[in-house]
Amino acid sequence: MSRNYEYTFERLGEGWIGVKKDAKERYQDVIHKYARDGWRLVQIFAPGTGGYGAAKYFELIFEREVSR
């Protein structure tokens, strides 16, 4: 039996030099918010670089199983 999943993405803290401080402080709240709606955190991804090689933002990737 195969399972089907859907995905959603949440971008946090996009800044010019690096991730904004508020994103570093509130990412856990975002994860809890999605979990209450049945989403599971798959990965926190930090694509792109700002100043000094720092990530420009965090991309939180969530999944949940969907019924057919």
| H or E segment and range at residue 57 | none
The pair of three-digit structure tokens given for residue 68, joined into one six-digit string = 């057919």
Where are the domains positioned within the chain?
9-66
pTM, two decimal places: 0.78
Cα 34 to Cα 29: distance, rounded to the nearest angstrom: 9
Residue 55: its pLDDT value, please?
A: 74
Residue 58: its pLDDT value, please?
A: 83
Q: What is the pLDDT of residues 1-44, one digit of tens each?
A: 789 999 999 988 776 555 666 666 788 889 999 999 999 999 99
Residue 47: its pLDDT value, please?
A: 75
Cα 8 to Cα 21: distance, rounded to the nearest angstrom: 23
